[in-house]
Amino acid sequence: MVRPITTLGKYLMLMGRVFARPERFRMYLKQYRNEMAQLGINSIGIVLLISFFIGAVICIQIKLNIESPWMPRFVVGYTTREILLLEFSSSIMCLILAGKVGSNIASEIGTMRVTQQIDALDIMGVNSASYLILPKILGLMTMIPLLVTFSIFAGVIGAFCTAWFAGITNATDLEYGFQYSFVEWYVWCSFIKSLVFAFIITSVSAYFGYTVEGGSIAVGKASTDSVVCSSVLILFSDLILTQLLS
């Protein structure tokens, strides 16, 4: 019981240092642009690929498992859209990014810690926590709505490709289902949830990397712990946010 409370206290103290007032905004702005490219733009490929196939799989599964003469034909498109908007393109995609982005952040900062690069920044009077972590948090939170948008469209395209080339369902019925009873708030819910998840991924991963002690083995363990902890917190936050935003 003591260890989780101690970890939470250290995490909050680190976040207090992270969100301190920057000394030189120009230096932070350059780092912020680099993190947007590294964490956001470099993740577009895997987001598009996974979302495309997940959209196709959802379409096939819905068609095969709820097919009934009593069920409207457009329900396949409707259900696929709701799954993409409410859960996959925000929650499940951020779980995937926790593995890719989170482990990258933890290992990068952890390596800097064990090679004493962070100690060198502190000796030079630089707020190392803010300089290393704040641009990562802001960079991913800036890019995550774009990644969510790409994920939604890639999932829709995957569903349509299934309808066109595999003959699972009629493309006209699928299109009508995507448009039927559309609720714009669901898109905003997806954006809001993804922003919270992006903060969790970057801050938790950065904490495990920043506080690592030991050598390369400790860095690997910190990377694994960051992914596990981020994933659990994302699922827990998803439960709370779904209840609050519904």
| C-beta atoms surrounding 176 within 10 Å | 15
Q: Which residues contact 25 (CB under 8 A, 6 or more apart)?
A: none
Instruction: Count the residues in the chain.
Output: 246
Count, in order, helices (H) and strands (E) of the chain. Answer: 11, 0
Quickly list H helices, 98-215: 103-114, 117-123, 128-165, 171-179, 184-210
Can you give the pTM of this predicted structure?
A: 0.90
At 95-133, the pLDDT tens digits run: 888 888 988 999 999 888 888 888 888 888 788 888 889
In angstroms, how far is CA 2 from the centroid of its own chain?
Answer: 29
167: left (phi over 0), alpha (psi -120 to 50) or beta: left
| Distance, CA of 129 to CA of 126 (rounded, Å) | 9
Q: Answer whether residue 200 shows pLDDT above 70.
A: yes
**How far is residue 130's CA from residue 148's CA, in Å, rounded to a whole number?**
27
Per-residue pLDDT reduced to its tens digit, 14-62: 888 888 877 777 888 888 899 899 888 888 999 999 999 998 888 888 8
Which strand (E) or helix (H) includes residue 32?
helix 25-35
Q: Per-residue pLDDT for 236 more than 80?
A: yes
pLDDT tens per residue across span 56-87: 888 888 887 776 667 777 888 888 888 888 88
* pLDDT for the residue 68: 66
Backbone angles phi, psi at 66, to 5 degrees: -120, 15
What is the rounded CA–CA span in Å between residue 86 and residue 130? Answer: 33
